[in-house]
Amino acid sequence: MDKAVYSLLAGGLIVSCQALPEEPLFSSYIMSRMAYAAMEGGAAGIRANSISDIHEIKNTVDLPIIGIIKQKYKGFETVITPTITEVTALVSEGVDIIALDCTRRLHPDGHKLEDFIMEIRSKFPDQLFMADCSVYEEGMLAARLGIDFIGTTLSGYTHYTRNAVLPNLELIKRLSSDSGKPVIAEGGIKTPEQLKEAFKAGAWAAVVGSAITRPREITRDFITGAKCRTGGKTDKRERQSDER
C-alpha cells in the first residue's frame, strides 16, 4: 500500500461523503459528485462508505480514500466495518485506509477486539487501518495493537459516551499526546473554528462529514439555530406515484 498517503493527508481536511439508504442523497453518483466538489474545495482526502460509493468516487477523484462498510448485524451495536468479511471486501476494492470499529463493544463474529485486530493485521500486513474509537483506552489499545491511525469517530456514539460534547477536543488532545500514532479528529466538527481547535489539540488530520455533505442536517441546523419556522414536507415523488 502506498505510504505516500501519509504526506498527502497530514494536516489536511478529509471530507466524509456518506448517505445511507434512509437518507435523501443515497446514491453513489451523488456521493462521487460530493467528493468532486470536496476535491475542488481543497480536501486532502475522502472518507466513504460501501463498495459501490467507493468505486464511483475512485473513478471521479484521485485523492486518498478512507473506506468503510457500514453493516448491521442483528443484536450487535458495532456497525463500521465490523467483521473480517467487510475488511476483505474493502481490501479487494482497494482503499488507502480501512477504518473499523475499535470500541470495546462486542464484534459480531464473537471476536474480542484484540483477536480481530491481530487477525486483520496478519492477513493484510500491508494495508493501512484506522481505529474508530470512542474513549481514550480504546485508542491506546488500538495503537498498541498496531493500528496505523487513531480516530475519535465514535465518541458520542457508544452507550457509554452518549453525553460527550463534540468535537471531543479533550480526547483528541490526550490521544495525540499519548498514542504515538497520527490522530484523525472526527465527529461533530461543524465549523472552521472547531476544525482549527481540533488541529490545535494535536490532530494530525481531520474528517468533516455532515457539515459539508448532509444538506438535510445543515438545513435543520440553520432552522434550529435561527428558530425560524419550518416549511411543509410534501415529497412530490410520493404524490406523483400515488396519482399514477
Ligand X SMILES: CC(=O)N[C@H](C=O)[C@@H](O)[C@H](O)[C@H](O)COP(=O)(O)O
Site size toward ligand X (CB under 6 A) is 15
Among 157, 169, 179, 201, binds ligand X (CB under 6 A): 157
- Told to check if 207 binds ligand X by CB under 6 A, we report yes
Among 5, 68, 95, 113, binds ligand X (CB under 6 A): 68
Q: Is 229 exposed, middle or buried (0-12, 13-18, 19+ CB in 10 A)?
A: exposed
Q: Using CB under 6 A, which of the segments 23-31, 119-127, 150-158, 192-200 binds ligand X? A: 150-158
Among 60, 103, 161, 210, binds ligand X (CB under 6 A): 210
- Told to check if 31 binds ligand X by CB under 6 A, we report no
Sign, CA dihedral 201-210-160-97, equals negative
Q: Is 194 strand, coil or helix?
A: helix
Q: Is 235 strand, coil or helix?
A: coil
Among 60, 83, 103, 153, binds ligand X (CB under 6 A): 153
- Told to check if 57 binds ligand X by CB under 6 A, we report no
Q: How far apart are CA 69 and CA 20, in angstroms?
A: 11
- Told to check if 161 binds ligand X by CB under 6 A, we report no
Q: Cβ of residue 85: shortest distance to ligand X, in angstroms?
A: 18
Q: How far apart are CA 70 and CA 48, in angstroms?
A: 10
Q: Using CB under 6 A, which of the segments 36-44, 90-98, 169-177, 208-216 binds ligand X? A: 208-216
Q: Cβ of residue 161: shortest distance to ligand X, in angstroms?
A: 11
| Pick 55 or 118: Cβ nearer ligand X | 55
Q: Are 86 and 36 in contact (CB under 8 A)?
A: no
Q: How far apart are CA 43 and CA 48, in angstroms?
A: 13
Q: How many other β-carbons are positioned within 10 Å of the β-carbon of residue 157?
A: 19
Residue type, 41: G
| Pick 52 or 118: Cβ nearer ligand X | 52
Among 56, 101, 186, 197, binds ligand X (CB under 6 A): 186
Q: Are 180 and 148 in contact (CB under 8 A)?
A: no
Q: Using CB under 6 A, which of the segments 31-39, 54-62, 202-210, 219-227 binds ligand X? A: 202-210
Among 15, 39, 141, 208, binds ligand X (CB under 6 A): 208
Stretch (H or E) spanning 158? none
Q: Is 99 strand, coil or helix?
A: strand
Binding site for ligand X (CB under 6 A): 16, 18, 68, 153-154, 157, 186-189, 207-211
